Structure 1
Amino acid sequence: MAKVLMKGNEAIGAAAIKAGCKYFFGYPITPQNEIPEYMSKELPKVNGCFVQAESEVAAINMVYGAAGSGARVMTSSSSPGMALKQEGITYIAGAELPCVIVNVMRGGPGLGGIQPAQSDYFQSVKGGGNGDYYMPVYAPASIQETVDLIQEGFDVADQYRTPVMVIADGMIGQMMEPVEFNERTNRELEEKTWATVGTKEERKPNIINSLFLQPEELEDHCHKLEAKYETMRQNECRWEEYNMENAEIVAVAYGTTSRIVKNAIEALKKEGINMGIVRPITVWPFPYHVLANLPESVKHVLTVEMSMGQMVEDVKLGVNGQKPVHFYGRTGGMIPDPEGVIAKVKEILGGDK
C-alpha cells in the first residue's frame, strides 16, 4: 500500500479503525483533539459509534461498558484528562476487559501547558489508579510506529483481557509524516465467551465485576492478575538497541526524544565518541534485562527525557549499580536538542578522564 502523509492524531484514529475499533468515547483536550474529530467523521462510515461524553470520567466508563460487550473500543485524552480517567482504568483492569487508551502527553503538573512532554511516565507505568494492576504501555517514536502499535495494542488487549495504553508526546500527535497501513498478521485470539451479549436463554449470564467482598477471593483474583502480568513481562517486552557495539556511553530514551538522541549519536561519531541507545518501545513491561547486560565497553548510562527524570528509577533498577546513571532532560514543554545531549555526554566523559 502506498504511503499517505498524515497528521499523527488522525493516523491514530485511522489505525484504530483499521484494527476493527467500532466505538470511541472521549472528550476534547489539546493536543489530542484531532483524534475525536477524526473518529466522529470516520466511525459512522464503518457502522461504528462516536460519543463525545460530558467528561473524561464519563468517557472511560462508557469504554468499560462497550468493552464488557466484547467490542473493540478506544478512548484518548491528554495528561490532565488521563488523570480523571484513572479510576475507570483500574476498574477496567480489575474486571479484565480489553480496550486501547491513547495519551497524547502535554506538560504538567496541573493544567500545565499544551506543549509536548513525557511527564506522565509515572502515571502510565506505575499505575495511576488504585490496587495491584499493570497494563502494557507502548511508547512509539514515529507516526508509523504509532500506527503499528495501535493495531498491535488491540490484539494484545484482547489476548490478555487488559487495557493497553499508548503514550505519545504532543509532537507525535501534531506533526505530519508519511505512513502506510499494510495488512498485518493478527494474533490467534480466543472467542470472547465472557462478553455480556445476552444469553438467548442458552447459558447462564456472564458477570463482569471487579468487586470481591471476601478478602480470600480478592487475593485469589490479584494472584490471577499477577500471573497474567508475569506472562506479559516474559512475552510482550519490546525495545530497540542502536549503535551499541563498542559504545562507551549508552543513552536510554523513548518516543521522539530517542530520535533527538540518535541525531546526537551521529554528531558524536564525527568527534570520535561512540554512544549507543537502548530505546524502550514498551515502557511497561520495561526492558530491565537489557540494561542489566550492557556491553563491557559501556562506562556510563545517560537517561534522556522530556521530564524531570521519571524514567531514571527504572533505568537504575535495570543497571543495578553496575554503571553510573546520569540524567539530562527538559520539561514543561521544552524539547531537548542534540546540542544539549552532546554537551551532557562530553561533561560526563570529561569527568571520567
Structure 2
Amino acid sequence: MAEKILMKGNEAIGEAAIVAGCRHYFGYPITPQTELTEYMSRRMPQINGVFLQAESEVAAINMVYGAAGAGARVMTSSSSPGISLKMEGISYIAGAELPSVIVNIVRGGPGLGGIQPAQSDYFQATKGGGHGDYRNIVLAPNSVQEMVDNTILAFDLADKYRNPVMLLGDGALGQMMEPVEFSASDVKPVAKPWAATGLRGRTESNIINSLHLQPEKLELHNIHLQKKYAQVADNEVRYEELYTDDAELVLVAYGITSRIARSAMEKARSEGLKVGMVRPITLWPFPEKPLAVLAQKAAAFLTLELSAGQMLEDVRLAVNGAKPVYFYGRAGGMMPSPKAVYEQISTLFNGKEVNNS
C-alpha cells in the first residue's frame, strides 16, 4: 500500500495531474484555488513541465486550446468568476474536440460574490456554460482523496472522448487537508493521430478548428458531437448509493454537502428513520436512471445543495413527478450543519409527508 501524505485539496489536485501525465499548466490566481496554481508553479519546473501564469483567464484557456491541439495532457484551474471568463474558450475546445481538464473550485456568487465554498456553478458546469450545443463531462469529488482519484480519471476520460472534463470542487474541499495516497500510475502514451504536430510522415497536415461556415457541415458536426455525448451518458455515469434498499426518504447531495448529509442520515437511521442517500459523482452525465428506479419505491426525495437549488432541477427531471422532491440549501458561502440537515429530515417524517403506508 502506498504511503499516505497529508495534503491540502488544491495541492493534491496538482500532484494528481502530474501523476496522470500532465506536463502543461496554464492558469491565473483567484481565491480559493490559488494554491493549485502556486503548487504547479513549483512542481512543473522540477519535472521539465511547462507552467505559465497567463495575463488573464481568457488567455489561459486559449493556451490550453493550443497545448491540447498539439496532443499534450494539459490542465487549467480557476474559481467561479474566472471560469466564467474561460467559457468562450471551453466552447471552442469542445467544438474542436480537444481533451483537456478544467478545475473549478467554486466560491459564492453571483458576481464577485465571496471566497467561501458554494455549489452555485452547477448550471454553468453541467448545462454547457458557453455558447452552442456542447457538454462537459463533470466530476464532483467529496474528499481530498477523491480529488486525487478523479483528477487522474479526468485526464483519461478527456482523452477517451476527446472532450473537456471539469473537476467541480468547492472552497472547503480546496482548502481542507486530509491524508491521501497516490497509487503507482503507469501512464501510457495515448495515440493522438489527429493532433497538430506537423506532417511527421503524413501527406497532409492536421487542422484543429471549430469554425464550420457551411451550415450543412456544421449540422453534421453537431450530430457527431451529440452521438458522442450519448455514448458518454451510456458508459460513464458514476454515483454512490447508501441505505437505499429500505429508504423512505432519499437524500441527494454531492461534493462537500454529501458528507454533511451522510452524518445527518446516519443519525436519522440510528433513531429508526429510514433514510438513504444517492451521491452523484458524475454531475454530467447525471445518474438519472438510478433515481428513476428509486422513485418507484421511495416515498420522497430531499435535495441538498450549497445553492438556491440547481441540481434540484435534474433530480426533479429524473423523478419525473413520481414522488415529491423537497429542497434544502444554503447560499453565498454558508454551509449547513449536520444538525440542520437532520432537522429537515425529522420535519419531513414528523409531518407524515414521507410515509409508504
User: Smaller-chain TM-score range?
Assistant: over 0.9
Matched, 1:33 2:34: yes
Whole-Å separation in 2 of the counterparts to 1:232 and 1:323: 28
TM-superposed deviation, 1:296:
5.1
> What CA distance in whole angstroms lies between the structure 2 residues aligned with 1:161 and 1:148?
20
Paired position in structure 1 for 2:271 = 271
Cα gap change, 1:232/1:56 in structure 2, threshold over 3 Å: closer, same or farther? same
Contact 1:252–1:278 under 8 Å retained in 2 = yes
TM-score normalised by the chain length of structure 2: 0.96
Q: Which residue in 2 is equivalent to 1:339?
A: 339
Q: Which residue of 1 aligns with 2:139?
A: 138
User: In the alignment, residue 165 of structure 1 is paired with which amino acid?
Assistant: M
Aligned pairs for 1:255-334 within 5 A: 255-294=255-294, 297-334=297-334
Task: Kindly state the Cα deviation for residue 298 of structure 1 after the two structures are TM-superposed.
Answer: 1.4
Counterpart-to-counterpart distance in 2, 1:261 and 1:177: 19
Taking only the aligned residue pairs, the percentage that are identical comes to: 61
Correspondence 1:5 to 2:6: yes
> For residues 66 and 120 of structure 1, do their structure 2 counterparts lie closer, same or farther at Cα, with a shift above 3 Å needed?
same
**1:195-240 deviations in Å (ceiling 9; x for gaps):** 1111146420100100000000000000000010000000111000
Deviation at 1:254, TM superposition (A): 0.2
Is contact 1:159-1:189 (8 Å) kept? no
Give the C-alpha shift of residue 244 in structure 1: 1.0
Letter in 2 for 1:170: G
- TM-score, normalised to structure 1, is 0.97
Structure 1 residue runs of 4+, over 4 Å off? none
* 8 Å Cα contact 1:302-1:327 kept in structure 2: yes
Paired letter, 1:11? A
Unaligned runs of 5+ in 2: none
Once the two structures are TM-superposed, the CA of residue 278 in structure 1 deviates from its matched residue by 0.4
What residue is the counterpart of 1:233 in the other structure?
Answer: 233
Report if aligned partners of 1:158, 1:189 keep a CA contact under 8 Å in 2.
no
Q: Distance in 1 between matches of 2:352 and 2:201?
A: 73
Tell me how far apart the structure 2 counterparts of residues 37 and 209 of structure 1 sit (CA, whole Å): 32
Q: What's the CA shift string for 1:274-299, capped at 9, x where partnerless?
A: 21000000000000001100075511
Equivalent position SS for 1:30: coil
- How many residue pairs get matched? 352
Q: Does the 8 Å CA contact 2:295/2:319 hold for their aligned counterparts?
A: no
Query: Residue in 1 aligned with 2:254?
Result: 254
Counterpart position of 1:112: 113
**Other-structure match for 1:82:** 83
CA root-mean-square deviation:
1.3
Offset at residue 184 of structure 1 (A): 4.7
Q: Which 10-residue stretch deviates more, 336-345 or 222-231?
A: 336-345
Partner of 2:213: 213
Structure 2 residue aligned with 1:19: 20
Say whether the 8 Å CA contact 1:140–1:255 is kept in structure 2.
Answer: yes
